[in-house]
Amino acid sequence: MKINTQNCLQQSEEASLLGDPITFTSDGKVLSRRYEDRWDFSGVESRASGKKPIVSFIAINSIYRKKIQDTLADLYFFLKDKNSQAPTSGQLHSWKVGMSHLATALKTTQWTEIDKRIGFRNFKAKLKQLKLSKSSLDNVVKALNKLFEIGVVKRIIDGRELLALKTSKRTKQHIAVPLGMYKRLLSRVISNVETYHPHRHEISRVMKDAYDIKEKIRNKEDVLNDGLGRPIISHSETSQEQRVYRAYKRLIKHNIPDFVIDLSGKQLGVIQNSCAMATVAFSGVRVGELTSFNAKSYDTKEADGGKEIPVLIGTTSKDSNGTPRTATWQTHPITKGALELAYDMMDSSRDYYKRKIETMLESGQFTVDHYQHAIREVESAFIPTARGKQKNTFVSQNMSYVFNELMKSFDIKATEEDVEEFNTLNPTREGTLKVGGYLPKLTPHDFRRTFAVFFKRYGFGTAASIKFQYKHANLNMSDYYANNADLMRMKDVLMDKDLLQLMQEEGIKLGIEIYDDIYNKSQHLSGKGGERIAKDKFEKLKSGHKIFMTLAEIEYCVRNGSIAVVQLPNGAYCTNGDCERLCGMGLLSGAKSKCVHTVNTDKSAKEMARQRKRLIDKFTGLNKGDVNWNSILVRLKQNIKELEVVLREHEIKFESFDDRVEGLINV
């Protein structure tokens, strides 16, 4: 065999210029070298769906890039030898980002400048000018600590000193969606899931037929030849598209409601994104966790007493340096249908992607490691809906964009009530939602925060729960916290503790907000507890105080548990956090005696005014003379009149409701 020595020499020179090997495939072949734009760790690391173990240097300033690569490579090999375990790509990425900021602030990659007194002073001044976030400064601190560890710098860094230089710009938290908009959104999402779930296999078959027809026409086959012997005159792209469209209409028959065959992925995207929204809304998972789910991810866990808890089982890479590990999320049975629909309707495309992955392995485009990762990805319920737009990632991308677009396609616009609630829930984004407008953004992580907020603010997961009705599906998740306690005791279950902490923090925020309203903002207080607090407020304000309790004092008391509050379904508050009486449970509840802990503020009274309007509408709709409804109508009217007492105490104008129950006397 004749060897091309010139090519061999050229490859050797190129390898020399790129430096020594950094990463290898699982079978020992060089995958990345020191001065390449990307270090690929797929040979030694497993990654979550949609994620790749890549450290990229493309965005690093070219002036500093080579020195940062040298330092990072030295650090990598030092720690690998020292710890008998190499740093992960996630750790290397964090240190790389920190070194990039460090070089920018020092204006050099001579790291020892940090050891000089004047150099460190100038560094801090420049770092402050960069207005970096806390997370970016965290990376700088980590990088400096690693440089100290390998002996490159001698200065011991106090992380608090550098973190104090973070930007004063207020960080905008993820959105919590207002209740009214959330209900309308989930109604549409669940309707889509319920509509298309029975047709999921037919959707796959129809899409396979459509792609087959397009391929035949592209290969100049006359699929529309009806025996008339008409020749194909043009093979232009436009004429091909016209023939494809005509062929769809004539040759593909289906019974899928409101389904248009569309190879751009738009129609399938609406269905898939509805499935994704339903799954995120009833589990609180992140995007990377969402794409780890398939049709078999839904399960039930049996708790004490034989109670079955619906759960989702997938993987998360949170707090594990990017390495996926199995985790469990409590959910609702609606997600079972959502995942089955998302997975099964893409079966024909999944087969196509598997063939493509095999071809990429055979052609050398994929290493065995890339191949194995791609095969895992394509088993996700959420794979690309448009085959032509897919590249080398086999799970759906840009979820934030598609969630926004889906929200707009549902035409869910804000009411005045939505705007008021949005500003309360999202103080860092106050004023960004307008009446008649759309949410300023809607990402999967916004659903995560909304999930946490709703469990705290609207009674999910407490005994005083609200049962939302979307179509015929009862989406009650009132046992959420009790179920979580059961799941945490199970040895084979790893829970999303971050989500539980997020819920706890939202509960604290809610308590602070409510007590600030009670103590400092509301002009009127009613209810037995409200009357008592109003008297205390009067005495304190009379003695010269401007406010009853500062926000800092309220937060301290809420966090240490000395004050507690429960927001009741009827809009009132209960200041006895251990109370099991459950005042206001349901629209037809009625306590024989008034609770001494109940507090109504001006804000909660406004909610009661809205609730009164809903009760009146309910009363009017049922009051048709049917005697079977009389007892319910009597209780509805009693509730309305009780709410009117509260509205009167808070000086909210209304017209007294005096309609009589048809068929009853003196009611």
Interhelix angle 266-281/444-457, rounded to 10 degrees, is 30
Residue 580 pLDDT class (50, 70, 90 cuts): low
Taking 90 as the threshold, does the pLDDT of residue 75 lie above it?
A: yes
Residue 272 corresponds to which tokens in the numbers above?
Answer: 């898939």
Q: Which of 7-21, 34-48, 456-470, 471-485 has the lowest mean pLDDT?
A: 456-470
Taking 90 as the threshold, does the pLDDT of residue 585 lie above it?
A: no
Residue 542 corresponds to which tokens in the numbers above?
Answer: 């009379």
**Integer Cα distance of 432 and 304 in angstroms:** 47
**Integer Cα distance of 24 and 21 in angstroms:** 8
Average pLDDT over residues 256-261: 92
Residue 492 is predicted with a pLDDT of 62
What does the pLDDT look like over 349-372, one tens digit per residue? 999 999 999 999 999 999 999 999
**Integer Cα distance of 210 and 121 in angstroms:** 66
Q: For the beta carbon of residue 666, count every other beta carbon within 10 angstroms.
A: 5
Give 32: exposed, middle or buried? Use CB within 10 Å, 0-12, 13-18, 19+. Answer: buried
List phi, psi (to 5°) of 603: -65, -45
- 89 residue type, one letter: S
List phi, psi (to 5°) of 554: -60, -45
Give 490 or 293, the one with higher predicted confidence: 293
Residue 483 is predicted with a pLDDT of 62
Alpha-carbon Rg for the chain, nearest whole angstrom, is 31
Q: For the beta carbon of residue 510, count every other beta carbon within 10 angstroms.
A: 18
Residue 227 is predicted with a pLDDT of 43
3-state secondary structure 278-310: HHHHCCCCCHHHHCCCCCCCEEEEECHHHCEEE
What does the pLDDT look like over 114-130, one tens digit per residue? 999 999 999 999 999 99
Residue 1 pLDDT class (50, 70, 90 cuts): very low
Average pLDDT over residues 213-230: 71
CA distances from 432 to 290, 418, 485, 506 (A): 28, 12, 38, 21
List phi, psi (to 5°) of 134: -60, -40
- 266 residue type, one letter: K
Taking 60 as the threshold, does the pLDDT of residue 34 lie above it?
A: yes
Residue 117 corresponds to which tokens in the numbers above?
Answer: 């007194």
Give 51: exposed, middle or buried? Use CB within 10 Å, 0-12, 13-18, 19+. Answer: buried
Q: Would you say the pTM of this structure is higher than 0.85? A: no
List phi, psi (to 5°) of 483: -65, -40
Residue 466 pLDDT class (50, 70, 90 cuts): very low
Residue 382 is predicted with a pLDDT of 95
